[in-house]
C-alpha cells in the first residue's frame, strides 16, 4: 500500500522520536542515576540539619508558595528603576574571543541530543546529591562572598555552570556580574530557571556564554571570583583549565572549587573508580571518576590554597571530594 509523502514524514518522525527516547535519552539518564544511587542509603541529612529543607530549593517543580513568590518577583522585576533596583550591576565584564587554535583543540563538536539529555538529567537527577552537599557548599560560598569588596561590582564566573545548582548560594549578594561558561548550550534554560528560582533576577546580571575552561572567553585579571563545581572531572585538560582560571582572576581573586576525585582513603573504592571510568566517561559527558584534582590544584600556582578532602555518605563513587578556596 502506497503512503502519501505527508504520512511517510509523520511516520518517520514518530518512529525517530520513539527510538531516540528509548535508545539515547532513557539509557543516558539511567546512567546518571545509576552512578548516583551506587551504594546509596536513604539520606538522613534533612533530619540532622533541618535548615536544609527550608533553605535548599533546587527541585524541578515549584510548589504553590514558590510559584506565588516567583510570580511576584517576576512582576517586580518589570520595574528596573534605580529605586526598585538600587544594586543593579552596571560595569559588565567583557566577553572576549579565545585563540582559535585553543578552541579547535578544546571546544570539540557536540551531540545536541546527548547534550539535551545530560542537561535534563543534571537538572533533575542531582537533587539528593546537592542536598547532602548543601551545608558545606553554603559555608564555602559564605566565605567566598565575605572576601569580596561589597562596594565594588564583583565579577563572578561559573566555569561549567551546567544547570546552575549553585544559584541559591548567590542569593544574599546584590549586584554581581555573573558569567556562566559552558560548552553544552542546552544547559542555559535550566540555568536561567535556577537563577530565577533563587531570585537572582534582576538584581544580578547573569550572562551565559558558550565556552570551555581550557580557553575562557575572558580577559586576563578581569574576574573577582571563579566558581567551579563538578566540572574538572569532565574537562579535557584539568591543568590547562586551572591555569586559565588563574589567568582570568585578579591578583587576590578567589577560586571556589568542589570536585569529586579518586578516593584517598579506600583502595578498593579507588580501584573500582579506575575500572569504571571509561564507562562513566561515555555515559556522563566525559566525567572521570579517577581524577587526582587535588594534585592539579596544588600544582596550579595559587598564592594560597585552602583545600579539604572530604567524603560524602550516600553517593558511592562520587563520595570522595576536594573542596575549598584558592587565592590567585
Ligand X SMILES: C[S@@+](CC[C@H](N)C(=O)[O-])C[C@H]1O[C@@H](n2cnc3c(N)ncnc32)[C@H](O)[C@@H]1O
Would you tell me which residues interact with ligand X (CB under 6 A)? 106, 122, 159-162, 165, 182-184, 187, 212-214, 229-231, 234-236, 285-286
**Residue 91 grid coordinates:** 560595569
Comparing CB distances to ligand X, the nearer of 155 and 212 is 212
Q: Distance between CA atoms of 33 and 123, rounded to whole angstroms?
A: 12
Q: Which is nearer to ligand X, 161 or 276 (CB)?
A: 161
Q: Is 226 helix (H, G, I), strand (E, B) or coil?
A: strand
Pick the closest to residue 326 from 261, 260, 256 (CA basis). 256
Neighbour-count burial for 177-211, b at 16+ CB within 10 Å, e otherwise = bbbbbbbbebbbebbbbbbbbbbbbbbbbbebbeb
Residue 154 near residue 148 (C-beta atoms within 8 A): yes
Cell of 319: 563520595
- What single-letter DSSP state applies at residue 22? I
**230 secondary structure, DSSP code:** S
Residue 153 or 242 with smaller CB distance to ligand X: 242
Q: At its nearest, how many Å lie between ligand X and the CB of residue 6?
A: 38
C-alpha pair distances (Å), 128 with each of 4, 31, 36, 142: 49, 16, 9, 21
* H or E stretch covering 277: helix 267-283
Residue placing its CB nearer to ligand X in the complex, 162 or 316: 162
* Matching residue, cell 563513587: 317
Specify the residue, 177 or 259, whose C-beta has the smaller distance to ligand X: 259
- Between 229 and 293, name the residue whose CB sits nearer to ligand X: 229
* Shortest distance, position 165 Cβ to ligand X, whole Å: 5
Least Å from the CB of residue 84 to ligand X:
31
- State the distance between the two ends of the chain, measured CA to CA, in whole angstroms: 71
Q: How far is the CB of 271 from ligand X (least distance, A)?
A: 23
* Closer residue to ligand X (CB): 195 or 202: 195
Q: In the bound complex, what is the minimum distance in angstroms from residue 7's beta carbon to ligand X?
A: 39
Chain-centroid distance of CA 135 in Å reads: 17
Q: How far is the CB of 215 from ligand X (least distance, A)?
A: 9
Amino acid at each position: 500500500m502506497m503512503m502519501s509523502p505527508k504520512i511517510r514524514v509523520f511516520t518517520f518522525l514518530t518512529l525517530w522520536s520513539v527510538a531516540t527516547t528509548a535508545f539515547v535519552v532513557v539509557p543516558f539518564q539511567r546512567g546518571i542515576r545509576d552512578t548516583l544511587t551506587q551504594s546509596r542509603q536513604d539520606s538522613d541529612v534533612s533530619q540532622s540539619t533541618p535548615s536544609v529543607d527550608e533553605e535548599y530549593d533546587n527541585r524541578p517543580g515549584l510548589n504553590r508558595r514558590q510559584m506565588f513568590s516567583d510570580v511576584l518577583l517576576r512582576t517586580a522585576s518589570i520595574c528596573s528603576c534605580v529605586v526598585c533596583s538600587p544594586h543593579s550591576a552596571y560595569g559588565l565584564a567583557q566577553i572576549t574571543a579565545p585563540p582559535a587554535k585553543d578552541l579547535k583543540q578544546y571546544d570539540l563538536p557536540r551531540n545536541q541530543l546527548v547534550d539535551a539529555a545530560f542537561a535534563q538529567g543534571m537538572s533533575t537527577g542531582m537533587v539528593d546529591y546537592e542536598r547532602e552537599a548543601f551545608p558545606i557548599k553554603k559555608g564555602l560560598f559564605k566565605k567566598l562572598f565575605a572576601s569580596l569588596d561589597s562596594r565594588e561590582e564583583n565579577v563572578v564566573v561559573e566555569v561549567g555552570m551546567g544547570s546552575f545548582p549553585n544559584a541559591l548560594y548567590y542569593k544574599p549578594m546584590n549586584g554581581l556580574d555573573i558569567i556562566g561558561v559552558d560548552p553544552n548550550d542546552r544547559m542555559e534554560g535550566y540555568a536561567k530557571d535556577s537563577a530565577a528560582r533563587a531570585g537572582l533576577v534582576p538584581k544580578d546580571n547573569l550572562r551565559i556564554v558558550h565556552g570551555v575552561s581550557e580557553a575562557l572567553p575572558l580577559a586576563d585579571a578581569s574576574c573577582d571570583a571563579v566558581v567551579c563545581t563538578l566540572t574538572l572531572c569532565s574537562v579535557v585538560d584539568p591543568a590547562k583549565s586551572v591555569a586559565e582560571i588563574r589567568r582570568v582572576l585578579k591578583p587576590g581573586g578567589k577560586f571556589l572549587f568542589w570536585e569529586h576525585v579518586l578516593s584517598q582513603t579506600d583502595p578498593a573504592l579507588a580501584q573500582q573508580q579506575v575500572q569504571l571510568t571509561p564507562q562513566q566517561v561515555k555515559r556522563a559527558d566525559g566525567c572521570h571518576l579517577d581524577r587526582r584534582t587535588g594534585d592539579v590544584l596544588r600544582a596550579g600556582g595559587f598564592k594560597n590554597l585552602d583545600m579539604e578532602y572530604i567524603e560524602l555518605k550516600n553517593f558511592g563513587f562520587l563520595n570522595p571530594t576536594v573542596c575549598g578556596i584558592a587565592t590567585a
